[in-house]
Chain A
Amino acid sequence: MTASSLQDQGRRLLSAMHGAMRALKLYPLENEAVQQAIDELHAGAEAILRSEEGIEVRVVGEFFFLNDVRLRLDLSNFATFGNVGQTLQAHGIGTVEVLAGVGREEWAPFLSLLGRTPGSDPLQSFLGRLSETPVERIEVDAVGDHGDELEEEEVFEQAKRTYAQSVQVAKDVLGDVRLGKAVNARKVKRAVQGIVDQVLADEPSIVTMTTLRDFDEYTFTHCVNVCIFSVVMGQRLGLDRLSLYELGLGALLHDLGKMRLPHELVTKPGGLNDEEWEHLKEHPALGLLHLFQTGGYIDVPYRQMLMAYEHHMKTDLKGYPTNRRPREPGIFSRIVAVADGFDAATSVRSYQHKPWGADEVLREMRENRARGYDQLLVKALIAATGVFPIGTLVILDTYELAVVSKTNPDPEKLHLPTVKIISDPMGVPLTQPLEWDLSTEGGVPGEATRTILKTTDPQKYGIRVADYLI
């Protein structure tokens, strides 16, 4: 059965289960409405069992899976799914398995048990009661049996959604600016709220999304990536949720001013001449000016304006725009500057066909003070990304190829990330990438079993690291 037909049938099955549970609550078993509801439920189950070996319904948090297909919630079924999920979880049930050959007569006792008040040990008492019924081909399992794995999957799905939505918002907003329209604050706020939530819930998943490098989408993905890196750094600095939100808003909008410059200038391949460069340097001021068109003046995003305005100023103020009055760029602006510099240098874009390696960029940022980045914030970025950020293509001392997949949270082991090994020493791809924590010690205490020999440019070899991460 295809995923989409299983999707439809699964949703119908859950709706039927909800209908039958409700009917049983309201009427006696003999009631015609109850019988019809059970008929419908049983027919739904049989339809699935005709093409599937069994039916496994799993509840993970707010999500339902039917045989590993996640059932999409929509406006017509949200409440139904919510009710069924709450009922199952109240009994400590995470999985309901319906085996082939299930009898119609097994549904009523099973559903009746679900309608009863859960015991003090919900799952055990449910199982105890279930064993006293003739139900043989409907089995239940505890919440969390598959939890970690699925939760991780769900978190990743959520990160994808957040990232995709944010890129779309960046497209819409920047497109509007190019058309001379005002910034739609509602969309931007929602996108940033999603990023902040995702960073707080599971930072690696959203940072992984920044490895999705798409030249055509650079303008938009760059804004989102800068937002993500800024929020990640902000979290490292202990900013509260609302401060992260403020920071993220400014970061997402930091290059807004470029949309007021000619498109051909912003996307011109190769280098710019002096005149063009001077023109491009106007984008921070243009960004500030355009943000005055956001909402009414009662809600002027002053702090975000300054992030747009100051993010190229450098700590010694030798960047641009130049200042005629005293100015000290704030820490939010300097965070955005670091995030911007990092993402820009590691990306393929108009002026840069060969991006720097992420580890090289970090090294340059911390060693070359003339770049004008705040050194403490560069450290904060490294604390968040590690020395070898997620998505870095590395060659291990075993000659295996690997992609960095997780940062080591231990500040003393920022150089020892977790990687996904994608090939053997001969370059033969592994059918299933092997996740390996490089801080794992071997036989000699303090000595890692594998270490990074060097990093390399995946683009040079046509390797899309995101394929191994998302």
Chain B
Amino acid sequence: MTDDGLRSTDEGLGATLPIAEVSELVVTLGKALRASQLYDENNPVYKRFVTALSGAFTGLWGELDQVVLHVQEDTLLLEDEVVYRNANRSESIAFLLFKDGVRLVHFLPGFESQVPRFLHVLNRARHARQDDADLLTLLWEADLDHFKYRYVDLLAEGLALPEAGMGASASDLREVIDEEVRSEPEGEGAQEGAESPPATAARDDFNPTLYALDASDMEELRREIRAERERDVRRDVLHALFDRFEDGDEARRDEIFDILRGLLPAFLARGEISLTNTVLAQVRIWEGSGVLTGEHRERMTGLLNELSTPEALEQLIEALEVGSITPSADELGGFLEFLRGGALGVLVRATFDTDSRELARVLGGAVESIAQRNPGAVVSLLASADPVVAAAAARIVGEHRIHAAAGGLRDLLYSEHEPVREAAVDAVGALQVPTLMGPLVDTLLDPEPAIRIAAARVLGQVRYRPATDRFREILDSREIRQAERSEKIAFFEAYGRLGDPGGIEFLDRILNGKGFLGRREPPEIRASAALGLGRFGVPAARAALEKAEGDDDPIVRSAVIRAIAMDGEAES
């Protein structure tokens, strides 16, 4: 059964009470409540229902001073008339009120402005678990000015109330007088006159200036209350936990550790990165302090590692991405500093994926920092199945000159993903590890021009002579003649750097020689050969270049001039 506003069947009553309108109002309340469960408070659908409900109340104030409804298990009554009935307890507004003890509700003019808060309270009550605050507690906390209610307190039923006894007997009271007064040694008062009773109450008790709060006292107390409001209670609680952890009791440490471990996800979920950092900083100090037993130290390490697992980090990244938490860059950067090698993959991927330049910058900085501290983690990352991660790892290997990564890089040179191969070639160039040059020679035949170019340059830079034959094959090939100019230049220059003893003659022939019918090589090839000769830096190469100084082709002539000027200098 759904919410069902019932109309009065009684004409006489209908004439005096707006039964139909109130029924309609309750139906609207039910709809608004459902809307508040389905949509967030900024959703236009929700806002529409709130407006409708507020309007319904406003419309009633012309007819009623207040709307007073009696609450029964499944029904709401306006006076004796049922204005709402719903036997489905999971949906019924009546039962929602009734089950926690509310028996009468008064909606007063002005309530319309409190509709969202009221709906919020009802929603929380509807979803409350056994130990959560119930409707009465929530209504109390909400303190709605224009909503009054009466209830039966189900928690208080059957309690025996304290009752007065008969009072003391005459002999008891007489004993007090006799012992406390009549037997009292005569005091100061007695000396003044026999009629005066002994005054034993302290004089200061009768001097209010000693104990009454004056204006400056009150101002000081108000300042203290403001300070309490501003107090960072969570940090003070954390410090208490830290203090007590350091008492040394092992069982206490276990309990506190479990608490801290539970607090971390709670802090992170709320974006309380600063508090998270406070906990992590302390955990790291304990981990490294040497005062803990092996087991506790392991738990500290485990906690820090756990935080760096992909599962944990992906949660954080998601929260950052959707904006459910918005820590400052400093806070986030501080947090990321606590992460360990295991975090690298997720961070790298997130850096790549995020649309936020600021987030990418912070994450990138964290990646750098973690990589610096954890080269082993970077090496492990080379084996990642995610090409973005593997490529980033290769770049980091190159940037940080992680020589231990050579084995991993070899495999990446044969990766099916172009960015990975490209990053690997760059890394090999940065490391210049001899054992990787052989595989790099294979990369000269890579399908991607950029990778071929990069490989050629690396091999040229390291003057890797065993690549000579492969270069000669390529420079003789039709493919290089069809390649882009930049590739031609890269290959010829790299070859020049190798310093192949037969290379000057080989390049001289390409630059200056003529074919069977007196045809020369294409100008771009001849120009590239000139630049290759320029990398030799020996007189024979210069002589070959000088032969072409007056070449008719401007492209060739220009390259020759540049090559002569270069005279074997390293490329900038």
- A297 contacts B156, CB within 8 Å? no
Q: How many residues of A contact B (CB 8 A)?
A: 106
Among B68, B77, B211, B246, which residue has the most Cβ atoms of chain A within 10 A? Answer: B211
Among B103, B133, B140, B262, which residue has the most Cβ atoms of chain A within 10 A? Answer: B140
- B173 contacts A453, CB within 8 Å? no
- Closest B residue to A394 by beta carbon equals B201
A155 CB within 8 Å of chain B: no
User: Do A185 and B70 form a contact, CB below 8 Å, given A82-B150, A238-B222, A379-B217?
Assistant: no
User: Do A427 and B175 form a contact, CB below 8 Å, given A78-B104, A83-B79?
Assistant: yes
Docked complex: A176-202 residues within 8 A CB-CB of B: 182, 184-187, 189-190, 193
Cα–Cα, bound, A414→B205 (Å): 9
Cα–Cα, bound, A463→B168 (Å): 6
A237 CB within 8 Å of chain B: yes
- The residue that A461 contacts in the complex, of B155, B172, B221, with Cβ under 8 A, is B172
Cα–Cα, bound, A422→B174 (Å): 11
B210 CB within 8 Å of chain A: yes
- The residue that A415 contacts in the complex, of B150, B206, B221, B243, with Cβ under 8 A, is B206
A319 CB within 8 Å of chain B: no
Q: Please, which residues of chain A bring their CB within 8 A of the CB of B134?
A: 186, 190
A363 CB within 8 Å of chain B: yes
User: Do A289 and B143 form a contact, CB below 8 Å, given A379-B217, A399-B181, A469-B164?
Assistant: no
Cα–Cα, bound, A316→B26 (Å): 58
- Closest B residue to A367 by beta carbon equals B204
Cα–Cα, bound, A193→B141 (Å): 9
Q: Please, which residues of chain B bring their CB within 8 A of the CB of A401?
A: 173, 176-177
Task: State the Cβ distance, B263 to closest chain A Cβ, in Å.
Answer: 6
Could you give, for residues 380-392 of chain A, a 1 whenever the CB lies within 8 Å of some chain B CB and a 0 otherwise? Answer: 1011000110000
- Closest A residue to B134 by beta carbon equals A186
Cα–Cα, bound, A427→B174 (Å): 4
Q: Please, which residues of chain B bring their CB within 8 A of the CB of A327?
A: 236, 239-240
Q: Please, which residues of chain B bring their CB within 8 A of the CB of A436?
A: none
User: Do A209 and B162 form a contact, CB below 8 Å, given A82-B103, A429-B173?
Assistant: yes
- A466 contacts B162, CB within 8 Å? yes
- Closest A residue to B217 by beta carbon equals A376
- The residue that A186 contacts in the complex, of B133, B161, B176, with Cβ under 8 A, is B133
Q: Please, which residues of chain A bring their CB within 8 A of the CB of B68?
A: 86
User: Do A193 and B137 form a contact, CB below 8 Å, given A376-B221, A425-B177?
Assistant: yes
A242 CB within 8 Å of chain B: yes
A452 CB within 8 Å of chain B: yes
B385 CB within 8 Å of chain A: no
Cα–Cα, bound, A427→B181 (Å): 11
B13 CB within 8 Å of chain A: yes
Docked complex: A416-470 residues within 8 A CB-CB of B: 422-423, 425-429, 452-456, 461-464, 466-470
A309 CB within 8 Å of chain B: yes
- A26 contacts B10, CB within 8 Å? yes
Docked complex: B1-28 residues within 8 A CB-CB of A: 10, 12-13
Q: Please, which residues of chain B bring their CB within 8 A of the CB of A371?
A: none
A135 CB within 8 Å of chain B: no
Cα–Cα, bound, A459→B227 (Å): 42
Task: State the Cβ distance, A275 to closest chain B Cβ, in Å.
Answer: 15
- B162 contacts A163, CB within 8 Å? yes
User: Do A302 and B237 form a contact, CB below 8 Å, given A79-B72, A395-B180?
Assistant: yes
- B132 contacts A186, CB within 8 Å? yes
Q: Please, which residues of chain A bring their CB within 8 A of the CB of B103?
A: 75, 78-79, 82
Q: Please, which residues of chain B bring their CB within 8 A of the CB of A168?
A: 159
Could you give, for residues 112-153 of chain B, a 1 whenever the CB lies within 8 Å of some chain A CB and a 0 otherwise? Answer: 000000000000000000011110110011010000001011
- The residue that B167 contacts in the complex, of A82, A241, A305, A422, with Cβ under 8 A, is A422
Q: Please, which residues of chain B bring their CB within 8 A of the CB of A366?
A: 210-211
Task: State the Cβ distance, A132 to closest chain B Cβ, in Å.
Answer: 23
Q: Which of the 9-residue segments B192-200, B292-300, B527-535 touches chain A?
A: B192-200
Task: State the Cβ distance, A105 to closest chain B Cβ, in Å.
Answer: 24
Q: Please, which residues of chain B bring their CB within 8 A of the CB of A288?
A: 237, 240-241, 244
- B173 contacts A185, CB within 8 Å? no
Could you give, for residues 20-33 of chain A, a 1 whenever the CB lies within 8 Å of some chain B CB and a 0 otherwise? Answer: 00100110000000
User: Do A454 and B177 form a contact, CB below 8 Å, given A82-B70, A82-B150, A462-B168?
Assistant: no
A340 CB within 8 Å of chain B: no
Q: Please, which residues of chain A bring their CB within 8 A of the CB of B13?
A: 25-26
Could you give, for residues 205-218 of chain B, a 1 whenever the CB lies within 8 Å of some chain A CB and a 0 otherwise? Answer: 11010111100011
- Closest B residue to A82 by beta carbon equals B104
User: Do A187 and B246 form a contact, CB below 8 Å, given A79-B103, A306-B236, A427-B173?
Assistant: no
- B243 contacts A423, CB within 8 Å? no
- The residue that A160 contacts in the complex, of B162, B181, B200, B211, with Cβ under 8 A, is B162
- A363 contacts B204, CB within 8 Å? yes
A341 CB within 8 Å of chain B: no
User: Do A74 and B132 form a contact, CB below 8 Å, given A331-B227, A380-B221?
Assistant: no
Q: Please, which residues of chain B bring their CB within 8 A of the CB of A165?
A: 153, 155-156, 159
- A415 contacts B168, CB within 8 Å? no
Q: Please, which residues of chain A bring their CB within 8 A of the CB of B162?
A: 160, 163-164, 209, 212, 466, 470
Cα–Cα, bound, A460→B385 (Å): 84
A303 CB within 8 Å of chain B: yes
- A331 contacts B70, CB within 8 Å? no
User: Do A164 and B213 form a contact, CB below 8 Å, given A79-B70, A86-B68?
Assistant: no
A298 CB within 8 Å of chain B: yes
Task: State the Cβ distance, A63 to closest chain B Cβ, in Å.
Answer: 11
Cα–Cα, bound, A5→B401 (Å): 96
B519 CB within 8 Å of chain A: no
Cα–Cα, bound, A406→B70 (Å): 38
- A324 contacts B237, CB within 8 Å? no
Q: Please, which residues of chain B bring their CB within 8 A of the CB of A422?
A: 167-168, 173
Task: State the Cβ distance, A117 to closest chain B Cβ, in Å.
Answer: 8
A101 CB within 8 Å of chain B: no
Q: Please, which residues of chain B bring their CB within 8 A of the CB of A193?
A: 137, 140
Task: State the Cβ distance, B23 to closest chain A Cβ, in Å.
Answer: 18
- B165 contacts A306, CB within 8 Å? no
- Closest A residue to B178 by beta carbon equals A427
A369 CB within 8 Å of chain B: no
Cα–Cα, bound, A227→B240 (Å): 23
- The residue that A238 contacts in the complex, of B168, B202, B225, B262, with Cβ under 8 A, is B225
B311 CB within 8 Å of chain A: no
- A305 contacts B201, CB within 8 Å? no
- B228 contacts A330, CB within 8 Å? yes
B224 CB within 8 Å of chain A: yes
Q: Please, which residues of chain B bring their CB within 8 A of the CB of A164?
A: 156, 159-162
Cα–Cα, bound, A300→B238 (Å): 12
- Closest A residue to B68 by beta carbon equals A86
Cα–Cα, bound, A289→B262 (Å): 13
A409 CB within 8 Å of chain B: no
Docked complex: A239-265 residues within 8 A CB-CB of B: 239, 241-243, 245
Instruction: For the A-B complex with A288-B241, A467-B166 known, give 14 more contacts whose Cβ atoms are closer than 8 Å.
Output: A75-B103, A78-B70, A83-B80, A165-B159, A186-B133, A186-B134, A187-B155, A330-B228, A383-B213, A414-B212, A426-B177, A428-B170, A456-B180, A467-B164
Q: Could you name 26 residue pairs across A and B whose Cβ atoms are closer than 8 Å?
A: A26-B12, A82-B104, A161-B159, A237-B222, A237-B225, A242-B143, A285-B240, A295-B131, A297-B266, A324-B242, A324-B246, A330-B227, A331-B225, A331-B227, A331-B228, A377-B221, A380-B213, A414-B212, A427-B176, A453-B181, A453-B197, A454-B180, A456-B180, A464-B165, A464-B168, A470-B163
> What is A's interface to B at a CB cutoff of 8 Å?
22, 25-26, 62, 73-75, 78-79, 82-83, 86, 157, 160-161, 163-165, 168-169, 182, 184-187, 189-190, 193, 209, 212, 236-239, 241-243, 245, 285, 288-289, 292, 295, 297-298, 300, 302-303, 305-306, 309, 321-327, 330-332, 359, 362-363, 366-367, 376-380, 382-383, 387-388, 393, 395, 397, 399, 401, 411-415, 422-423, 425-429, 452-456, 461-464, 466-470
The 9 closest A-B pairs by CB, nearest first: A427-B174, A454-B200, A297-B266, A79-B70, A302-B233, A427-B173, A467-B165, A331-B224, A423-B173
